[in-house]
Amino acid sequence: MRGAQQFLRRRWGEFSQTPFGRLVRLCVGRMFHGTADPDAGGLDLGVGVIVVLLAMPGVLVSLLMFEKYGSLIRFLRGDGVYDPFTATIPDVYFFLVLSMVVSGAAALWRWDSIFLDRRDYMNLVPLPISLRSIFFANLCAIFVLIGLLTLVVNAASLVLFPVAVVGSQGSFAVFFRFTLGHSAAVFLASTFSCFAVFAVAGVLMALLPAPVFRRVSLLVRFNLAVLLLALLGTSFAVPHWLTQLSVADAHRVAVLPPVSFLGLAPTVWGRGREPFAASMTKAAVAALGAAFFTTILAYAVSFRRSFIRIPETPDTGPLPRVPFSLSPLPRLRDVLLHTPAQRACYPFAARTLLRSDGHLQVVSGFMALGLVASAAALTSSPNLHTLVTGKAPPVESLSVSFILSYCMIIGVRFAFEIPADLQANWIFRFWLDREQHEARPIARRVLLLFCLSWLVPACFLSTLAFWGWTVALQHTAILTLCTVVLVEVLLLRFRKIPFTCPYPAFKSYSGLTVVAYLFGYFVFTDGLAQIENWSLGDPWRIVWFVPLFSIVLWAVWFYRKQMLEMDKELIFEDVSDSGF
């Protein structure tokens, strides 16, 4: 065993010293670390952190399985004997979805680094290496990346889940069979998810001109992220449907990729003769093969069409922009933005959010989350017909605008902490007076612009269409006030020009902050929707919102008044205790 290990290590050492081996290592490295300039303040987490982040969902869910299937706990609960190969189907489905979503998200995260770009061309092509070597090295790197992602995402569940389910049965054969079926399903599902994302990227790159690809890239990624989140949402409903539906109806659900891959596990467990499992296995293998060949084909075409032609295409970056104002009423903007610093920094922050890919991705991610959560809220209603009927909107309908507002505000607030070209912030260091408290007014305006500019009209018009003027005005007013109060709370200790500071350091209370945001989500989206629903019963009840908001705003004002001046000063390095 040790001899084989040494042999493999020696061979790998020899391979990685060859020109092709070095190329593969380079391509794998750029996929892990991204293509951004590390000095520009981009997020470079390092391989270790990435591995932990990817493995974490699998570890947590696998540990929960001990609570469900642990023999002692089952004994204490009085649960009887169960068949692991049928009882675990919903959990296998959940692991499949989880594996696909995490792998897909990781592939989306590395979307820009998958294919070789201008920098690679400038560095590699002048060297005495053939284009074929570069092509195959990056292809190898894609396979290595997919292999690593698949392994890391599923490693915990491959060991812990079978131990939790069949570990106490004392039969190695059963354990081995169960592990094999589960591994085959999650591994292939994970691989399919990565290939599917890469195939989409490759096809777009092969078909579209480079500037157009850059433009549509973000939109496609946003839609894929929504799709992945929606897939995660199916894990609660689909296993239940599968037990209720007939085989013929179940095939309709089979368009969902995890359902197809769910057929793999029973097939490996020896139940492949069941018609549903057999047809699903075929569908899964076909889907995986299609994704694999599409990726290879798209990669080959895009390499030929984009990479080889790089010198013929201008280094355009984004396309020329038509000059536009960020406010339809420039005079109103001058009234709202009082100082030169505000007038300069507000367009800067708004443009960064709209144009910087990284920031737009973060905001889009939160927005995708908001859309999926809104859909989940609407579908949670016991009677879908009541969502748009009755004198007043039900809680589920009211909560949608609160969910969208919360996700948008938190997304933009989170994006504020991500630096944009840190080295370029010298212009703000140079010009802004640290003792002038300009950070909050700027951040406040950007947050409100990004949330209310579209949400207020959308909320008003949709409410008006179903419930009339009074309810529409009332709901829009409450939503606006709630959003303003939320923004004030979130900016309590904010003292940076958005995007001009390095990432905040991890603090001892960072975990608590995340819990606070989750708690805030439920209070804001569900709590406020419940109160508003109650207030809509009698228009006079709306006055209760006045003391509620007044108390929160007074608390914010009082807290700021107590703060030391030095804690309010503008900063460009996050060395203080205040943080996100």
Least distance to other proteins from the beta carbon of 568, Å? 18
The site for other proteins (CB under 8 A) is made up of 314-318, 320-323, 340-341, 343-344, 347-348, 351-352, 355-356, 420-421, 423-424, 426-433
Choice between 117 and 526, CB closer to other proteins: 117
Q: What's the CA dihedral at 522, 525, 529, 530 to 10 degrees?
A: -10
Least distance to other proteins from the beta carbon of 354, Å? 9
Q: What SS3 class is residue 119?
A: helix
What's the sign of the alpha-carbon dihedral 482, 484, 485, 490? positive
Least distance to other proteins from the beta carbon of 423, Å? 4
Least distance to other proteins from the beta carbon of 331, Å? 11
Least distance to other proteins from the beta carbon of 412, Å? 17
Place of tokens 């958005």: 498
- The DSSP element (H or E) to which 10 belongs, if any, is helix 2-17
Choice between 19 and 340, CB closer to other proteins: 340
Choice between 418 and 487, CB closer to other proteins: 418
Choice between 427 and 563, CB closer to other proteins: 427
Structure tokens at 486: 């939320």
Question: What is the Cα–Cα distance from 123 to 494, expressed in whole angstroms?
Answer: 42
Q: Using an 8 Å Cβ cutoff, are 178 and 85 in contact?
A: yes
Least distance to other proteins from the beta carbon of 455, Å? 25
Choice between 436 and 578, CB closer to other proteins: 436
Which of 202, 205, 183 shows the shortest CA–CA distance to 194?
A: 202
Least distance to other proteins from the beta carbon of 429, Å? 6
Place of tokens 């030391």: 564
The length of the chain in residues reads 580
What's the sign of the alpha-carbon dihedral 339, 341, 347, 349? negative
Least distance to other proteins from the beta carbon of 431, Å? 4
Structure tokens at 146: 């997919």
Choice between 212 and 424, CB closer to other proteins: 424
Q: What SS3 class is residue 571?
A: strand
Distances (CA, A) of 202 to 106, 120, 222, 301, 486: 16, 17, 16, 8, 41
Choice between 74 and 343, CB closer to other proteins: 343
Q: Using an 8 Å Cβ cutoff, are 416 and 443 in contact?
A: yes
Choice between 348 and 521, CB closer to other proteins: 348
Choice between 54 and 344, CB closer to other proteins: 344
**HSE-CB of 441 using CA atoms within 13 angstroms:** 13
Choice between 321 and 385, CB closer to other proteins: 321
Least distance to other proteins from the beta carbon of 499, Å? 9
Which are the contacts of 423, defined by CB distance < 8 A and separation ≥ 6?
A: 39, 40, 41
Least distance to other proteins from the beta carbon of 249, Å? 50
Least distance to other proteins from the beta carbon of 513, Å? 29
Choice between 173 and 322, CB closer to other proteins: 322
Least distance to other proteins from the beta carbon of 210, Å? 12
Choice between 450 and 521, CB closer to other proteins: 450
Q: Using an 8 Å Cβ cutoff, are 474 and 327 in contact?
A: no
Structure tokens at 460: 């008003």
Helices (H), 322-390: 330-336, 340-355, 357-379
Neighbours of 167 (CB within 10 A): 16
Helices (H), 491-544: 510-522, 528-535
Helices and strands, counts by H and E, the chain: 24, 0
Which of 526, 250, 536 shows the shortest CA–CA distance to 376?
A: 526
Question: What is the Cα–Cα distance from 204 to 210, expressed in whole angstroms?
Answer: 9
Least distance to other proteins from the beta carbon of 312, Å? 16
Question: What is the Cα–Cα distance from 103 to 298, expressed in whole angstroms?
Answer: 20
Choice between 538 and 573, CB closer to other proteins: 573
